[in-house]
Amino acid sequence: MKVLTNLRFGTVVTVPELILDPNGRAVIFGPNGAGKTTLLRMLAGRLPGPVLETAYLPQRPYLFRGSAGHNLGLGLSSEQAARARQLVERFGLSTDVLRRASGTLSGGERQRLVLARTLARPEPWVLLDEPLAAIDVRDRMDVARELVVSLDHRGVVVVTHDRDVAVAMGDSVAVMIDGEIRQVGPVTEVFALPATERVASVIGTANVLEGRISGSIHPLVALDLGGVEVWGIGSLPSGSSARALFGAEAVTIYGGVAKTGSAQNHWRGTIVDVRQVDRLLEVVVDVGVRVVALITPGAQAALELRSGSEVTVAVKATAVRIVPA
């Protein structure tokens, strides 16, 4: 592990310690103005602080005059430039695009190009600031999947305020609020169980369940969680590792055995915890995996829900997003 200490920049960033896995993908997650980009610039050596040996992609990368292909190879050796050309095709850019003037590229094309150039560099650490923000929503998860594969065996730090991107790209997540890191842990745990109300107000409460794609009925795919199956919107191939993401507010709880309407996902389970979250209650149900729901105190009273209660939980497939793991 790489342990960085005393990361401070005025009043913008105050991080006494940051632990990074040299073979892992860490996400710095938080709202705009939280200090995420400042922290990343410190790690890249653009601001005073501990410095990593990095390939760094800023939030607004610059392209020079000339062709897109010329820009793709800038600063790279011939071997690295060949690697960049392979990557840019995997990210969805054709060779025809590389012949065009850099000024004619769309935002998504520019981002694919600079991602490929950055990942082709040899440094052991890769720092990416909002790497998918300029990519169209319909293509974002496809590019995320290729990014994760291309980043294997390197230390990665990704800054984002997008929950889907965090889940798709991160092994671990550090939630940053007002220049401080308020919670750190595996992506699946942090998004499901925020440590404080302040963290919950920033990230929401989400279920993040990991498994493998086991089937599909366009536009839905099924994710096998090891005996429990969840359907959601996605386009991943069978057998690939993936995560299901859905908000706790999308989960409906029924007392005992109940009809669940049109919801394609419904499971029986036992309540293992009930916690107060602001004016709502967070209910954790063991259905073979842990599923978290948000309900009102009135709903709890009406259904007589408590730890040990047998319940049915349901969530519509259209409320579930299946993203690469």
Reported as a single tens digit per residue, the pLDDT across 136-173 is 988 999 999 999 999 988 999 999 999 999 999 999 99
Contact criterion met (CB below 8 Å) for 192 and 292: yes
Residue 180 has pLDDT above 90, yes or no: yes
Average pLDDT over residues 73-90: 96
Q: What integer pLDDT is reported at residue 188 of this predicted model?
A: 87
> How many helices and strands, by DSSP H and E, does the chain display?
10, 18
Q: For residue range 227-241, list pLDDT tens digits in order.
A: 999 999 998 999 999
Average pLDDT over residues 169-194: 93
Q: Which CATH class is domain 2-202?
A: alpha beta
Q: Provide the Cα torsion 124, 63, 84, 323; round to 10°.
A: 80
Residue 193 has pLDDT above 90, yes or no: no
- pLDDT confidence band for 206 (50 / 70 / 90): confident
Q: What integer pLDDT is reported at residue 240 of this predicted model?
A: 93
Contact criterion met (CB below 8 Å) for 139 and 112: no
SS3 15: strand
Residue 256 has pLDDT above 70, yes or no: yes
Average pLDDT over residues 71-94: 95
Q: For residue range 49-67, list pLDDT tens digits in order.
A: 888 999 999 999 989 999 9
Q: In the CATH scheme, what is the code of domain 208-324? A: 2.40.50.100
- Judge whether 2-202 and 208-324 match in fold: no
Q: What tokens were used for 168?
A: 């798709």
Would you list the domain boundaries of the chain? 2-202, 208-324
> What sign does the CA torsion over 76, 56, 108, 167 have?
positive
SS3 178: coil
Q: What integer pLDDT is reported at residue 157 of this predicted model?
A: 98
Amino acid (one-letter) located at 99: R
SS3 22: coil
Q: Is 237 exposed, middle or buried (0-12, 13-18, 19+ CB in 10 A)?
A: exposed
Residue 100 has pLDDT above 90, yes or no: yes
Q: Which residue has the higher pLDDT, 80 or 325?
A: 80
SS3 21: coil
Per mean pLDDT, which range of 251-255, 261-265, 280-284 is the poorest? Answer: 261-265
Q: What integer pLDDT is reported at residue 291 of this predicted model?
A: 96
> What sign does the CA torsion over 122, 126, 128, 131 have?
positive
Residue 114 has pLDDT above 80, yes or no: yes
- pLDDT confidence band for 260 (50 / 70 / 90): low
Residue 257 has pLDDT above 80, yes or no: no
- pLDDT confidence band for 204 (50 / 70 / 90): confident
> What sign does the CA torsion over 206, 210, 214, 216 have?
positive
DSSP, residue by residue, 24-46: SEEEEE--TTSSHHHHHHHHTTS
Q: What integer pLDDT is reported at residue 101 of this predicted model?
A: 96
Query: Is the bond into 297 cis (omega within 30 degrees of 0)?
Result: no
> What percent of the chain is predicted at pLDDT more than 90?
81
Contact criterion met (CB below 8 Å) for 253 and 283: yes
For 208, residues 6+ apart whose C-beta sits below 8 A from its C-beta are 167, 187, 188, 191, 192, 243, 244, 245
Mean pLDDT of the chain: 93
